[in-house]
Structure 1
């Protein structure tokens, strides 16, 4: 089959790789019809290279048609249309039973000290082949895949794999009171959906981003927008909220934020180290670019909550603890527990009125063969690129 493989820093390629096959009775094989490029895929493209091996198949936002199932898979069958959550969970362990599927005790990658295994996401999360491919082996398919109707375009359902539940969890974790104000820093795919979810829930939402096309998309969905290109974001947010700041802030940017030149240099150095040294540096150093997070902490009102949906990877990144303690800031964070939110989200995605605007998110649709060029376009934020969907 054809699949997108990691080859080196800023180098991915579509290659012929062996077709996946059933290895466990809880596996399924899915023929991929659509798969997204996620903002966190860009971390593999740039920063997390020391944890990648040449030839790794990447991608963690897939959906398609079930072609084969193992003997213990009964809730889906060949011919079903399914969305595959990006985290691999058993559904039965102590963590899964408590809605913490991203910490599944069955699939935890203990040798790396990490939580549940993820599709297509480096040694840190199990080196499981990903979904930017023609076919995907789905581990724990007796629990994970979500059956969806055969009606509607893929884009109506695809983002249940990651974007919509991640944004939903981010807004939930922000703990904004009824009628309160939510700020969303970063209007990439997760930020777009977090902002729309906030509007859907009746919140006042202010979206922050330096890219005009991203601000324009958010504004179409009832979001107040703020240009962050000139800095001073925290003060501008306070000016819009009676001097207090928003009740909750979602950081939808993560470790590669703009405005952090020292940490950007650290990213570059880590990327140039031999893999073993690079992995050690990622696990012991402060390599995150923290401008977005520090802005969120500065901006949020006293007693408010900062919710991290953007991915961070450094182990000793500096934090303004004096400010956080003095302001009584709550931090909430973590990989999305996709299956926890499915029952809440399916009715919204099935609603013909498209209340979350999922059909107005994709800006680029292309065959799998175009993926390498689109990774570069997405990373550089060129051509109005906000969300890429590949069609293997």
Structure 2
């Protein structure tokens, strides 16, 4: 089959690789009909995430048709399914609490030591996202093996276009959980750093959860314009001092809740960000954390901090004193996708949530390397690329 493979920094290629096979009775094989390039994939493209190996198949946002099932799979051949990016067993201690991204069995035994050493405990497995998260082949391919297929995938009713439901695999549940973790109360003012796909879904979700005001922060005009479509007020951090603007907009109190949807590759010519960039480039540090620093300092006293953004390693200059003195609460983590799928699918079918506004480009799977470069270099024009095998045939 054809698949997108990683070979180094800014080096991804379409290769012919062996077809996936059933390895466990709970497995299923999915023929991909739609897959997408995620902002988190750019961390791999930039070689920020460790334990990738040359030839690894990328991609964690995908859906398709079931073509083969193991003896214990609950899926049936011919069903259309969306597959969560988190791989979870459904029966361990954490899964019983619907904490699917903390699953004890999502990682193969051979991969658990890596995460244990870096994070203290292993997390769930992830598709196409390094050997630290299981070394699973991803879905930017013609076919993919889905472990625990009796737990993760959600069956899509006939007549619903892929574009409407594809993002159930990751970014829609992630944006929803980001807003949920902000503990939004009716009448709240919520500030969202980053108007990429997750940030935009967090904006949409925050309004659905009762926020009176959402303030979206970014520097790409097109992405800020998309946030405005949902009723958000906006701050362009290249034109305005973000902290000062938030204080002015909230009467000096600060937002009730803040959401960091930027993560470890924060942009902007700020002193702390430049220092972080130098440390990362000289292997003295890993993450650029300007956005979470700013969010903590801007949040009102007694407020809530939600951090759906990806961070990978150790950081310094974290405003721990401000966090403690202001009495803030932080919630974060990989998304418990399986928890949210039924409700979000129902909301899409009822017309309460729109996902298609985000798609800026549709490309053939064979154009994936070009798509990665476009997404990396043209983030104002490119909001989401959907790849479809055979689109150009």
Q: TM-score, normalized by length of structure 2?
A: 0.93
- 1:177-216 to structure 2, matched below 5 A, reads 177-203=185-211, 204-216=213-225
The CA distance in 2 between the partners of 1:336 and 1:209, in whole Å, is 23
Residue from 232, 251, 254 that aligns with 1:242: 251
Cα shift at 1:175: 1.2
- Separation of aligned partners in 2, 1:79 and 1:255: 40
- The match for 1:267 is 280
Unaligned runs of 5+ in 2: 117-121
Alignment-derived partner of residue 51 in structure 1: 51
How many Å apart are 1:159 and its aligned residue? 0.5
**2:86 is paired with a residue of what secondary structure?**
coil
Q: CA offsets, 1:155-199, max 9 Å, x none?
A: 111000001110111001011221111111000000010001112
Equivalent of 2:171 in 151, 156, 163: 163
**Residue in structure 2 matched with residue 37 of structure 1 by the alignment:** 37
Aligned to 2:113: 111
CA distance in 1, matches of 2:278, 2:240: 20
Hey, what's the Cα distance between the residues in 1 that align with 2:279 and 2:356? Answer: 38
Partner of residue 364, structure 2: 367
Whether the 8 Å contact between 1:287 and 1:317 is mirrored in structure 2 is no
DSSP 3-state at the match of 1:302: coil
- For the 8 Å contact 2:80–2:157, the answer to whether it is kept is yes
User: Which deviates more from structure 2 when the two are superposed, residues 240-249 or residues 79-88?
Assistant: 240-249
How far apart are residue 291 of structure 1 and its match?
0.8
Query: 1:51 aligns to what SS in structure 2?
Result: coil
Counterpart position of 1:281: none
Cα deviation digits, residues 122-149 of structure 1 (max 9, x gap): 0110110000000010011111111111
SS in structure 1 opposite 2:276? helix
- Aligned to 1:40, the other structure's residue is in SS state helix
User: Relative to structure 2, which stretch is displaced further, 215-224 or 135-144?
Assistant: 215-224
Structure 1: runs of 5+ lacking an equivalent: 271-284
Is residue 157 of structure 2 the alignment partner of residue 121 of structure 1? Answer: no
77 and 165 in structure 1: CA distance in 2 versus 1, 3 angstrom threshold? same
Q: CA deviation at 1:44?
A: 0.7
Within 2, Cα distance between the matches of 1:387 and 1:380? 13
Deviation of the 1:225 alpha carbon: 1.4
The answer to whether structure 1 residue 16 and structure 2 residue 16 are counterparts is: yes
Which deviates the most, 49-58 or 378-387?
Answer: 378-387
Residue 380 of structure 1 corresponds to 377
- 1:323 corresponds to which residue? 322
| Aligned counterpart in structure 1 of residue 226 of structure 2, from 202, 214, 217 | 217
Shift of 1:344: 2.2
Task: Measure, in 2, the Cα distance between the counterparts of 1:149 and 1:269.
Answer: 51
Say if 2:179 and 2:205, in contact at 8 Å, map to a contact too.
Answer: yes
- Contact 1:8 1:49 (C-alpha < 8 Å) held by counterparts: no
Q: Describe the SS at the equivalent of 1:21.
A: coil
What residue is the counterpart of 2:181 in the other structure? 173
Match of 1:91 in 2: 90
8 Å CA contact 1:377, 1:383 repeated in 2 = no
Who is 2:313 aligned against? 314
Q: Identify the range of structure 1 (382-391 vs 239-248) with the bigger mean alpha-carbon deviation.
A: 382-391
Q: CA deviation at 1:224?
A: 1.4
What's the offset of the Cα at 1:266? 3.1
Output the CA distance in 1 between the equivalents of 2:206 and 2:95.
26
Q: Which moved more, 1:260-269 or 1:153-162?
A: 260-269
Question: Which is worse superposed, 129-138 or 217-226?
Answer: 217-226
Quote the RMSD (CA, aligned, Å): 1.4
Q: 1:232 aligns with which of 241, 250, 260?
A: 241
Change (3 A) 1:379 1:121: same
Distance in 1 between residues matched to 2:175 and 2:166, nearest whole Å: 14
Structure 1 position 262, deviation (Å): 2.1
The Cα shift of 1:383 comes to: 6.1
Q: Does 1:71 align with 2:75?
A: no
Q: How many residues align?
A: 375
Distance 1:95 1:231 in 2: 43
Q: 2:99 and 2:30 mapped to 1: Cα distance? A: 25
Residue 92 of structure 1: how far off its partner (Å):
0.7
State the match for 1:277 in structure 2.
Answer: none
